[in-house]
């Protein structure tokens, strides 16, 4: 099987799983959100495939609601982070002094411990869903910004850009018509590869108590609540939500890797 065909199949499989996670909560309605005390702490079985929690809520349905919420948080956070990366990379192309300032800011963010930076930002933004989105977005842009900056410097030295500059084209015209179209594929791949990091760090912040509100059906909330019941033998409260979160993260990782192989002819032949 060629590298391009395997990449297409991997991307299709990942898309099917991601779309299923996004659609199923709409079909479930409030199942998994309402308490049913008559079905408390049931082990996995025919009536509840993943069991129920201490309030009788179905773990499978609640996990799907939580993953759908993580999708929205990851979508907005990753999108904002890619936008910040693009702006920093563009600023690097304005001149030597601007490049030095952008490089200093990027290195400063990379030098800070990532989880500590996330916690400080989430706390500074006041906690909650909006704070998590802003914290993830503000902390995840530096590596992509470096990649885009390196790509930008190569494009600026390309013959067609030099020709456009010699013909008197403005810097805005060159950026919009010659540089930005070549950066878009890298931005798209960076967005998809940043998505799983955003989802994982949202779950980590929520698990530690700095993220989404406890009333929301978030995976981090479910895992945090499960820690109080694992010693009683209710392993399904943590195992199934954790495995589903891992499956979602790996789906985005697979999709981003497949897209990168499709964009790069050299990797597509591997």
CA 91 vs CA 27, 96, 136, 143: distances in Å = 45, 10, 21, 15
Contact indicator for 68, 219 with CB cutoff of 8 Å: no
User: Could you list the residue range(s) of the whole structural domain that residue 179 is in?
Assistant: 3-29+50-268
Q: Is residue 18 domain-resident?
A: yes
Q: Is residue 117 domain-resident?
A: yes
Q: State the Cα–Cα distance between residues 48 and 39, nearest whole angstrom.
A: 9
Q: Which two tokens stand for residue 259?
A: 């897209």
Contact indicator for 10, 257 with CB cutoff of 8 Å: yes
Q: What is the pLDDT of residue 266?
A: 52
Q: State the Cα–Cα distance between residues 249 and 243, nearest whole angstrom.
A: 10
The model carries a pTM of 0.81
Describe the crossing of helices 142-156 and 180-208 by its angle, rounded to 10 degrees: 170
Q: What is the pLDDT of residue 81?
A: 92
Give counts: helices (H), strands (E), the chain.
12, 0
Residues of the chain short of pLDDT 70, as ranges, are: 1-3, 264-270
Q: Is residue 136 domain-resident?
A: yes
Residue 90 is part of a domain; what is its CATH number? 1.10.3720.10
* Pick from 24, 16, 36, 13: nearest CA to 63: 24
Q: Is residue 40 domain-resident?
A: no
Which residues partner with 128 through β-bridges?
none
Q: Which two tokens stand for residue 200?
A: 């994982």
Q: State the Cα–Cα distance between residues 64 and 243, nearest whole angstrom.
A: 12
The sign one gets for the Cα dihedral 19, 21, 25, 28 is positive
Q: What is the pLDDT of residue 168?
A: 78
Q: Is residue 42 domain-resident?
A: no
Contact indicator for 78, 198 with CB cutoff of 8 Å: yes
Count of CB atoms situated within 10 Å of the CB of 134: 18
pLDDT tens, residue by residue, 64-76: 888 888 888 888 9
Supply angle C-alpha 196, 200, 204, rounded to 5. Answer: 170
What is the domain count for the chain? 1
Q: Is residue 182 domain-resident?
A: yes
Q: Is residue 152 domain-resident?
A: yes
Span between the terminal Cα atoms of the chain, in Å = 10
Q: Is residue 96 domain-resident?
A: yes
């Amino acid at each position: 099987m060629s590298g391009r065909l395997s990449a297409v199949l991997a991307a299709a499989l990942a898309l099917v799983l991601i779309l299923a996670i996004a659609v199923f909560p709409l079909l479930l309605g409030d199942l998994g959100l309402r308490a049913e005390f008559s079905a408390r702490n049931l082990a996995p079985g025919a009536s509840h495939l993943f069991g129920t929690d201490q309030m009788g809520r179905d773990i499978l349905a609640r996990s799907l609601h939580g993953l759908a919420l993580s999708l929205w948080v990851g979508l907005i956070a990753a999108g904002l982070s890619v936008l910040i990366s693009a702006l920093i990379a563009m600023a690097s192309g304005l001149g030597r002094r601007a490049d030095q300032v952008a490089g200093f800011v990027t290195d400063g963010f990379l030098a800070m411990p990532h989880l500590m930076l996330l916690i400080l930002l989430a706390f500074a933004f006041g906690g909650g869903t909006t704070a998590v989105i802003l914290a993830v977005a503000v902390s995840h842009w530096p590596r992509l910004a470096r990649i885009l900056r390196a790509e930008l410097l190569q494009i600026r030295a390309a013959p067609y850009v030099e020709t456009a500059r010699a013909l008197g084209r403005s810097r805005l015209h060159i950026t919009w018509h010659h540089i930005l179209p070549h950066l878009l594929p890298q931005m798209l791949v960076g967005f998809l590869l940043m998505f799983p990091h955003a989802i994982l760090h949202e779950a980590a912040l929520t698990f530690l108590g700095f993220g989404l509100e406890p009333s929301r059906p978030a995976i981090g909330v479910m895992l945090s609540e499960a820690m109080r019941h694992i010693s009683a033998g209710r392993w399904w409260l943590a195992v199934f939500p954790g495995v589903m979160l891992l499956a979602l993260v790996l789906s985005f990782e697979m999709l981003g890797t497949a897209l990168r192989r499709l964009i790069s002819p050299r990797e597509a032949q591997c």
